[in-house]
Amino acid sequence: MIEISDNVLDRLVDAKKVAVLTGAGISAESGIATFRGKDGIWTKLKPDELASMEAFLRNPARVLEWYEHRRTIIEQVQPNPAHIILAEMEKFYPDFSLSTQNIDGLHKKAGSTIVYELHGSILRNRCNECGRLIENIKLDELPRCDCGGLVRPDVVWFGEMLPIDILDMSYAAAQEADVYFSIGTSAAVYPAAYLPIEAKNNGAFVIEINLDTTTISNYVDVSYRGKAGEILPELWNAVKNKINAIN
């Protein structure tokens, strides 16, 4: 149980524009490993050995095999209550958008339709040379595009640019939001980590939901400690109860 102040409830009841940033923690309860922290992927593997262009060019087969392994897991898991509540919130608010750093597609699977995938999607592949999207290829066979380029997952590695249109829409949403949520992200990777700060600097009421404190915990308006799949349903129920009480 979390303590929800009247101020938080009022902000959520009155808000017209709500925007959200999610990270790996929101998918942890669906069974997908996070990157940092106790059981994070990067405690066992080094990012520069797998999630970088250098790694890919050095040993494409190894990198592609790792992504194929993760894709197999991701295709089998289901959205959890946190993903589902965010899809419900999208239907409730007149202006709602969801920016995610996750590449797992679980927000769309849960029913969210306005999803800005800042770091791409593991469910798509593209040519590393010409950028063409390439469907239905198993990545562990070292496939090539018609242009001769290697095929890679359509994700954003360190040192690579984020898709600019998606980043622009995420920034616009953060700047305009009445309430901004930062959920299940360590807020350690930029430029995504600037989004909650941008929202706060532009007047949004910022709510963080995370198991632990993060780099932005001291900066946000409210920071709830715990599992997103438990806190978000609790918070949203309280909002719905308040709305029903008013009407």
CB of 238 to ligand BJW, least distance (A): 18
Q: Which option in ligand BJW, Zn ion, none does residue 97 bind, with CB closer than 5 to 8 A by kind?
A: none
Determine which residue in the list 18, 110, 156, 239 makes contact with ligand BJW, applying CB under 6 A.
156
211 touches ligand BJW (CB under 6 A)? yes
CB of 210 to ligand BJW, least distance (A): 4
How many residues of this chain interact with Zn ion, rule: CB under 5 A? 7
160-199: contacts with ligand BJW (CB under 6 A): 160-162, 184-186, 188-191
Question: Residue 21 contacts by C-beta under 8 Å, 6 or more apart in sequence?
Answer: 99, 100, 101, 170, 174, 180, 181, 182, 183, 185, 192, 195, 196
138-167: contacts with Zn ion (CB under 5 A): 145, 147, 149
Judged by CB, which is closer to ligand BJW: 36, or 108? 36
Active-site residue flag, 119: yes
137 touches Zn ion (CB under 5 A)? no
60 touches ligand BJW (CB under 6 A)? no
CB of 147 to Zn ion, least distance (A): 3
CB of 91 to ligand BJW, least distance (A): 23
User: Which sequence positions are flagged as catalytic?
Assistant: 119
